[in-house]
């Protein structure tokens, strides 16, 4: 850092130093707006933008905007005024009305920077000023504001005898997104200068007649060519790809179009390249460069429409173009070819070329190309491809392995026997999580041996996938395996085991889940409690009650499970209801609002009379989301045996409630009842 940098940094930091006199401090900040170093000026801008816009502050800033000696000071003052809102705009409008000199140019710039539409009429009047500098600044400020006043003033300028005025009006109309009809634009195309300025607006004209001048514009300067390409894409979005492409063909400008596309796809910015890509797909030219450009971005809707119109006939051209593309472009080409082939059945020769290209892509060195090819093989893989797909599924890359498994799953829908046979050779040491899931899905109980071996894998993700896959088999024989997995040091494995036990259900699974509650992590304890509730294991209620005073996560899960057990009980009894009511009362005494909310939710499993008592208690909670649950629960009782009690509680709650979310729930309760009455 140089000595000058050191000095600037000292000045910048000094602005943050507290001052005994606030007025003096603001004056110091105002003085710093003219500092020679931009860092100091920016610091002052940030500090002043947070100040109240007093008249004295605005007076100084307006004067700073009008001075001509220090450009940095003027720009900094502009930035502060833009951030001070309506008071600053009102002061600038007053300054504009009080002066008649060249400083009005700076006030116009400031109003444009502020972006307040209330200044539009002032700027519109100024845009017709005799001073061309003032008028130009006002017009530019109007363009920044946009809106109907700006469009009216810009349209007025289109009739000017001065070509510069017409060009600036066209530029402004394009910037504010105005739409001019072909009838309005056609007279302006006779002049070469105004024709170039009109190119962006032709795309919004909604008329195929605009294609001819746009095609002509492709041969002008690179800037004009980019504008013309953008407008052609915009016109196609409104009128459709086919009519615009046909009109372009009739224009006879294909060579000019190719040259413009080539330049833009090579050198254009992201937006112009995106639009040029759409045009390239429309006219089916320069597919290689277009694919490379499209691979950097999402395909525009008009580009996608152009490809759909081309359909299966695009398969071979895309595959041919892919050979000249970079890896990402080739990946996009092969993915599009596979997708488009499904729109209409190509002949057998095309299908064979596509299939061979997909297999070749799946063996490429580029991960993008491999994954794209495998996605295509989801639909196009054949029985003889299964061994190669299994080999790819055992690659170190999880992304490639998962894509290969998707392709195998797709193949299994067409040829299950061939796929199952290929999966018999899977090496468990190299299997991916996705492969383990696929084995369970396609080979069923035949996969138990492989999955059991994978439970001892070194990678936690693989162990978790094996446990999860075993759980999907819904086979009581794997309960012992899942019990073993609960001793794993990684919670992902344990949670997968809990999920599997919940799916299998039954007494043996419940016994293991009860063990999982003991000595496991909080996350595993909570999920084990929920699992016991999900399978409705009534004997677990005794142990679940012991958890009601534990950690919030476990206590919430326990009361949720107790409510679930009562809901799924085959023969609900008064004793079950009384016991749950007592459990909920205990949970409602917990200090954590998430537990009391879970308790309020569980009350919906109670008989109406007992539920009312628990929701009455919930309405006393300090947490709005607990009270909201109670209101919704009481709403469900309206019109039933506990209607009077529920209605009284809701009425009392409405009179004392302040939270808008709870009040809305109460209003919904009575509004729903009124709708039902009608």
List, for residues 148-167, the tens digit of each pLDDT value. Answer: 999 999 999 898 888 888 99
pLDDT at 1: 39
Please check whether residue 608 is in contact with residue 640, taking contact to mean a CB–CB distance below 8 angstroms.
yes
For the chain, where do the domains classified as CATH 1.25.10.10 start and end?
A: 505-606
Token readout for 421 is 């046979």
94, pLDDT greater than 70: yes
pLDDT at 678: 42
pLDDT at 572: 67
What span, in angstroms and rounded, lies between the C-alpha atoms of 121 and 148?
Answer: 10
What span, in angstroms and rounded, lies between the C-alpha atoms of 432 and 408?
Answer: 13
Residue listed under structure tokens 């039954």: 506
- What are 359-385's pLDDT values in tens digits? 999 999 999 999 999 999 999 999 999
DSSP 3-state assignment of 590?
coil
Q: Residue 21's CB: how many other CB atoms inside 10 A?
A: 9
Please check whether residue 133 is in contact with residue 102, taking contact to mean a CB–CB distance below 8 angstroms.
yes
Q: Tell me the average pLDDT of the chain.
A: 90
DSSP 8-class letter at 300 = P
Nearest CA to 142 out of 105, 94, 176 is that of 176
- In 311-454, which residue ranges form alpha helices assigned H by DSSP? 315-322, 327-340, 348-362, 367-380, 386-393, 398-414, 416-423, 433-443, 448-454
Residue listed under structure tokens 């002949």: 347
pLDDT at 619: 93
- What are 309-318's pLDDT values in tens digits? 999 999 999 9
- What are 612-621's pLDDT values in tens digits? 999 999 999 9
Indicate the pLDDT class of residue 68, thresholds 50, 70 and 90: confident
Indicate the pLDDT class of residue 199, thresholds 50, 70 and 90: very high
79, pLDDT greater than 70: yes
Nearest CA to 662 out of 637, 633, 641 is that of 633
DSSP 8-class letter at 432 = -
DSSP 457-487: -SSHHHHHHHHHHHHHT--GGGHHHHHHHTT
- Give pairs for 571-579: CB < 8 Å, separation 24+: 574/607, 577/606, 577/607, 577/610, 578/610, 579/541
What span, in angstroms and rounded, lies between the C-alpha atoms of 337 and 183?
Answer: 41
- What are 551-588's pLDDT values in tens digits? 999 999 999 999 999 988 877 678 888 999 999 999 99
Token readout for 501 is 């036990």
Please check whether residue 80 is in contact with residue 61, taking contact to mean a CB–CB distance below 8 angstroms.
yes
Class of 505-606 per CATH? mainly alpha
DSSP 3-state assignment of 640?
coil
- What are 599-639's pLDDT values in tens digits? 999 999 999 999 999 999 999 999 999 999 999 999 999 98
Token readout for 169 is 């009006």
Indicate the pLDDT class of residue 3, thresholds 50, 70 and 90: very low
259, pLDDT greater than 60: yes
Q: For residue 338, count CB atoms less than 10 angstroms from its CB and return exposed for 0-12, middle for 13-18, buried for 19 or more.
A: buried
pLDDT at 672: 58
What span, in angstroms and rounded, lies between the C-alpha atoms of 383 and 611?
Answer: 60
- Contacts (Cβ under 8 Å, ≥6 apart) of 303: 277, 278, 281, 282, 294
């Amino acid at each position: 850092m140089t000595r000058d940098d050191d000095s600037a940094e000292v000045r910048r930091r000094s602005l943050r130093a507290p001052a005994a006199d606030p007025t003096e401090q603001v004056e110091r900040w105002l003085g710093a707006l003219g500092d020679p170093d931009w860092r100091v000026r920016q610091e002052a801008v940030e500090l002043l933008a947070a100040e109240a816009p007093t008249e004295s502050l605005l007076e100084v800033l307006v004067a700073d905007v009008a001075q001509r000696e220090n450009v940095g000071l003027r720009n900094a003052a502009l930035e502060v005024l833009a951030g001070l809102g309506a008071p600053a705009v009102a002061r600038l409008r007053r300054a504009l009305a009080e002066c008649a000199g060249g400083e009005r140019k700076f006030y116009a710039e400031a109003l444009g920077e502020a972006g307040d539409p209330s200044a539009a009429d002032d700027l519109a009047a100024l845009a017709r000023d005799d001073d061309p500098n003032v008028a130009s600044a006002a017009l530019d400020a109007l363009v920044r504001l946009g809106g109907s006043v700006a469009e009216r003033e810009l349209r007025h300028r289109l009739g000017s005898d001065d070509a510069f005025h017409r060009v600036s009006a066209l530029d402004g109309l394009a910037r504010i997104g105005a739409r001019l009809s072909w009838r309005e634009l056609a007279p302006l195309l006779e002049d070469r200068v105004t024709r170039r300025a009109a190119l962006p607006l032709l795309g919004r004209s909604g008329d195929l007649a605009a294609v001819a001048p746009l095609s002509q514009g492709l041969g002008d300067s690179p800037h004009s060519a980019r504008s013309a390409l953008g407008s052609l894409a915009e016109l196609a979005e409104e009128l459709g790809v086919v009519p615009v492409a046909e009109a372009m063909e009739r224009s006879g400008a294909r060579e000019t179009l190719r040259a413009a596309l080539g330049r833009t796809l090579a050198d254009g910015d992201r937006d112009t390249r995106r639009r040029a890509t759409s045009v390239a797909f429309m006219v089916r030219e320069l597919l290689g460069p277009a694919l490379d450009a499209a691979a950097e971005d999402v395909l525009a809707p008009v580009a996608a429409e152009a490809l759909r119109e081309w359909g299966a006939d695009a398969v071979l051209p895309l595959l041919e173009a892919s050979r000249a593309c970079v890896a990402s472009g080739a990946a996009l080409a092969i993915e599009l070819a596979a997708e488009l082939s499904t729109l209409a059945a190509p002949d057998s020769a095309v299908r064979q070329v596509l299939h061979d290209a997909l297999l070749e892509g799946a063996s490429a060195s580029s991960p993008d190309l491999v994954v794209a090819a495998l996605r295509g093989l989801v639909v196009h893989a054949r029985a003889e491809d299964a061994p190669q797909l299994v080999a790819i599924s055992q690659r170190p890359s999880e992304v490639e392995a998962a894509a290969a498994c998707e392709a195998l799953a797709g193949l299994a829908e067409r040829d299950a026997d061939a796929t199952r046979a290929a999966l018999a050779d899977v090496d468990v040491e190299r299997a991916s999580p996705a492969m383990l899931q696929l084995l369970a899905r396609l080979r069923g109980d035949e996969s138990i041996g492989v999955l059991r071996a994978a439970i001892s894998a070194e990678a936690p993700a693989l162990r978790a996938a094996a446990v999860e896959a075993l759980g999907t088999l819904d086979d009581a024989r794997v309960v012992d395996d899942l019990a073993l997995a609960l001793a794993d040091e990684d919670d992902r494995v344990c949670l997968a085991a809990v999920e599997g036990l919940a799916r299998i259900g039954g007494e043996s699974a419940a016994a293991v889940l009860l063990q999982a509650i003991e000595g496991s992590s909080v996350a595993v304890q909570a999920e084990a409690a929920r699992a016991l509730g999900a399978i409705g294991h009534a004997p677990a209620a005794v142990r679940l009650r012991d958890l009601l005073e534990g950690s919030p996560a476990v206590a919430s899960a326990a009361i949720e499970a107790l409510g679930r057990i009562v809901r799924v009980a085959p023969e609900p009894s008064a004793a079950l209801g009384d016991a749950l009511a007592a459990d909920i009362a205990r949970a409602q005494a917990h200090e954590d609002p998430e537990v009391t909310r879970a308790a309020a939710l569980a009350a919906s499993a109670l008989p109406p009379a007992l539920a009312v008592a628990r929701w009455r208690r919930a309405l006393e909670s300090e947490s709005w989301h607990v009270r909201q649950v109670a209101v919704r629960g009481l709403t469900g009782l309206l019109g039933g045996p506990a209607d009077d009690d529920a209605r009284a509680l809701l009425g009392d709650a409405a009179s004392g409630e302040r939270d808008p979310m709870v009040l809305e729930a109460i209003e919904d309760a009575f509004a729903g009842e009124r709708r039902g009455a009608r």
